Structure 1
């Protein structure tokens, strides 16, 4: 029986009050992908970490603390020894903070690059959870910071730095360093997300880092500065971080020393965090 004949038979049955069973639509074997926010975060973080490994950025994260250690320690070592200062122990916090600041600059370049090449805009047109790109960049930054921190501590051990306050103070030292890194990375990521030039972003962030670093108690004691600038040097965040981390490494930090450093860090985090989320999720 031909197709036309079958259609005529079916029409006659309908006219005679019969019914025709219509086969149900077959459900497609392939369903539309609907990844969760966790899957998206893992995919974007893995992509960024793999890019860091492929283009040697992890190697740079290892070499940067070496450059800071050699560049800061050798020129002032003998001068500080004449003043009775164990300079390896004194200098280590600022070396770690410089490494964390370097990570923040890298975070700003990454966000600016994704903004410039249209990757961020493309993600905003896809069913990606709004906060995932920022969280992925921060996660890859944490990986870079952990590598850089480990390298800085190894190089510090070579020049004579030691944790003499016990395991928990050493853990607090490392945790506080990572918190500083996340705080600075959020601020840098916000600037990078608002910019379309990775080079200009890095240059804009390098100058404040150098000024605050040099005008701090991280390299020399407070009495090494002119008296008129000592209040600023003593109370700015880099100096307060140095005081707390120095005590964490040797002797143990007290509440009176930890509180100003923690207040600075949490205050900056309260400002940079929302700013970074707004800059990352804004629709152009």
Structure 2
């Protein structure tokens, strides 16, 4: 005949059945169990740290430092003397578009990241767990913001080396950097949405590279508006890359005006209104 003896301790019950003893936690004995109590802030912190560590392992921060150097050398050296003949300080003229191209390049990484999380099932896994809806998107945007800050810092260092200077004080220099990061955030939200809807990170990056290069080359960032044929000048002058480059150029030297800032503010608000809801929907939709 088997007998069972129970010994009570504050946190443990020892049940002796025959010659065997089974340890049973006290919480189980009284019918209690731990319930998850997730914090959105903690979830964001953990997911952002995970993404940043992945970026370090894939050398994405190293690429964020190298990319502005390639843009600086590739555009400044071939056109420097041509622009000097026109009386243009090309380092001062070129620096905004180098920064904007570097910011656009980081958005391609955002698209690759969201596409990879989608095809590996990580996004679907997040939807089955008690994770607040916008947290995965916010964590990707936060890590992308860090990558943009690194790339912006590197671009300014290279710009200083070729002769670029801020002449309008700290406030306008800070606004220069702020506009660059706003531009990066807008593009990253749109790229994240495209990546979340894509089935191939490689195809996504290739699809995004071409329009960004076209908008960069057909802008007033590399050459004055007068350097383009008359029939395409309205597009070149009014597209967002040109408008951002106008404002950033004035912020660095000469002082910005409301006339220059107004189109930039409108473009920023328009891109955010379109890209932010689209990115959230693409990130939270169930396949």
Output the TM-score relative to the length of structure 2: 0.89
1:84 equivalent to 2:94? Answer: no
Residues 1:96 and 2:99 are matched in the alignment: yes
**Structure 1 residues 66 and 28, CA, compared in 2 at 3 Å: closer, same or farther?**
farther
Q: Name the residue aligned to 2:230.
A: 227
Q: Which residue in 2 is equivalent to 1:133?
A: 136
1:256 to 234, 256, 259: 259
Which residue is equivalent to 2:146? 143
CA distance in 2 between partners of 1:66 and 1:97 (Å): 13
Q: SS at 2:130's partner residue?
A: coil
Deviation sequence 1:181-227 (CA, Å, 0-9, x none): 10000000000000010011001101110111111000000000011
Residue of structure 1 equivalent to 2:23: none
Matching residue within 206, 209, 220 for 2:209: 206
1:117 corresponds to 2:129:
no
Between the aligned partners of 2:100 and 2:3, the Cα distance in structure 1 is 80
CA distance in structure 2 between the partners assigned to 1:230 and 1:102 by the alignment:
25
Please give the residue correspondences for 1:1-284 in structure 2 after superposition, counting only pairs within 5 Å: 26-27=29-30, 31-284=34-287
- State the secondary structure of the residue aligned to 1:126: coil
What is the deviation of 1:26?
4.1
CA RMSD between the two structures: 1.8
- Shift of residue 34 of structure 1? 2.5
The runs of 5 or more residues in structure 2 that have no matched partner are 5-26
Cα distance, 1:28 vs structure 2: 7.2
What is the aligned partner in structure 2 of residue 9 from structure 1? none
For each residue in 1:94-113, what CA deviation from the matched residue of structure 2 results, as whole angstroms up to 9, or x when unmatched?
Answer: 00000100110000000001
Q: d(CA) in 2 for partners of 1:52 and 1:203?
A: 19
Q: Displacement, 1:35?
A: 2.2
Inter-partner Cα distance in structure 2 for 1:73 and 1:34: 54
Deviation at 1:30, TM superposition (A): 6.7
Distance 2:92 2:240 in 1: 19
Gap runs ≥5 in structure 1: 5-23
**3-state SS, counterpart of residue 100 of structure 1:** helix
Where 1:253 maps in the other structure, the secondary structure is: coil
- Which secondary structure state, in structure 1, belongs to the residue aligned with residue 125 of structure 2? helix
- Aligned-partner Cα distance in 2 for 1:158–1:29: 65
